[in-house]
Amino acid sequence: MPLPERIGFIGTGAITDAMVRGLLAEPAAIPQVVVSQRSADISARLASDFPQVHVSPDNQAIVDGCDTVVLAIRPQVAEGVIRPLQFREGQKIISVIAATDRPKLLDWIGTEVRLTQAIPLPFVARRKGVTAVFPADAGTAAIFDVLGNAVECETKAEYDLLAAASALMATYFGILHRTTEWLAENGLPEDKGRAYLAPLFAGLSEAALHAGTDVDFFEMSREFATKGGLNEQVFRDFDERGGTEALTRALSSVFERITNR
């Protein structure tokens, strides 16, 4: 699927910054990008770093000048920004606005556009991100495949489930932080703990990626847990002391928050 010649971004926060940097990293995937002036610091930095970036003070000019428009506005102000804009029928719109469902977005847009939603993460800046896309759309997937890879969701339920799973990121770093603290409390300097744990967990992620979809994560857990060994002991203690139950309860809670908004 060919990529668009020009992409416009309404809203210039951290996710826009990450997406633009990923799209324009050498070799650049897009010939031209237009970003809104807000926030001024981020838009000016992007224009300084990439000659392909044009900063526009007028959101309507971005809509008029781009066949593909990314809505990257904070949910608290999204309605006020979107409603005054005049979109074209059939125009491709990608929303990365958090906690805002499709019917609400279409009501604000007020035109029969081709709307997809996506959940890009900051890693797209390094073309390492995985992005959930709904509904399945080859053009949107092609953009996010450049930025890592896209997972196209056939249903809203699939999309919401992946949104809930993405809420584990802070927990991941929290585990690293608490483990580093524990190591320090027991005499290992913090810098050595970080130097060991970050590549350890990165290696585990690489193992999961290379295993493909044919290998169950539980089977991988058993592979890394020698019978009677230390890994088996930690996982058993974690599970028996409520760790697994707490994890699934937290996921269910955030999923309920997503689906009942």
**Residue 134 · residue 144 · CB < 8 Å:** no
Residue ending a domain, choose from 154, 185, 220: 154
Asked if the structure places residue 43 within a domain, the reply is: yes
**Co-location of 131 and 178 in the same domain:** no
Q: Is residue 164 part of a domain?
A: no
14-26 confidence digits (pLDDT tens) = 999 999 999 999 9
Q: What is the mean pLDDT of residues 200-207?
A: 94
Q: Side chain identity at 229, as an amino acid letter?
A: G
Same domain, 146 and 251: no
Amino acid type, 134? F
Q: 193 CB contacts (<8 Å, ≥6 apart)?
A: 179, 180, 183, 184
- Residues 149, 175 share a domain: no
Last residue of a domain, one of 103, 121, 154: 154
Contacts of 149 (CB under 8 A, 6+ apart): 129, 130, 131
CA distance 255 to 230: 33
Domain assignment present for 161: no
On whether both 22 and 147 belong to a single domain, the answer is yes
Give dist(CA 238, CA 30) in Å, integer. Answer: 47
CATH for 73: 3.40.50.720
pLDDT, position 1: 80
Domain termination site, one of 99, 131, 154: 154
Examine the domain organization and report whether 18 and 126 are in the same domain: yes
Domain extent for 98: 6-154
Same domain, 22 and 86: yes
Beta-bridge partners for 118:
133
Euclidean distance between CA atoms 250 and 253, whole angstroms: 5
| DSSP H or E stretch at residue 57 | none
Q: How confident is the model at residue 260 (pLDDT cuts 50, 70, 90)?
A: confident
Q: Please give the pLDDT value at position 220.
A: 92
- Residue 98: its pLDDT value, please? 86
- Note the pLDDT of residue 261: 59
Residue pLDDT, tens place only, 117-162:
999 999 999 999 999 999 999 999 999 999 999 999 999 999 999 9
Map tokens 């224009």 to a residue: 47
Do 49 and 19 belong to one domain?
Answer: yes
**Same domain (yes/no): 195, 69:** no
Mean residue pLDDT across the chain: 95
Question: For the CA atoms of the chain, what is the radius of gyration?
Answer: 21
pLDDT attached to residue 127? 97
216-237 core/surface letters (b: 16 or more CB in 10 A; e: else):
eeeeeeeeebeeeeeeeeebee
Q: Does residue 173 share a domain with residue 150?
A: no
In the predicted model, is pLDDT for residue 108 greater than 70? yes
pLDDT digits (tens, 9 = 90+) for 213-255: 778 998 899 889 888 999 999 999 999 999 999 999 999 999 9
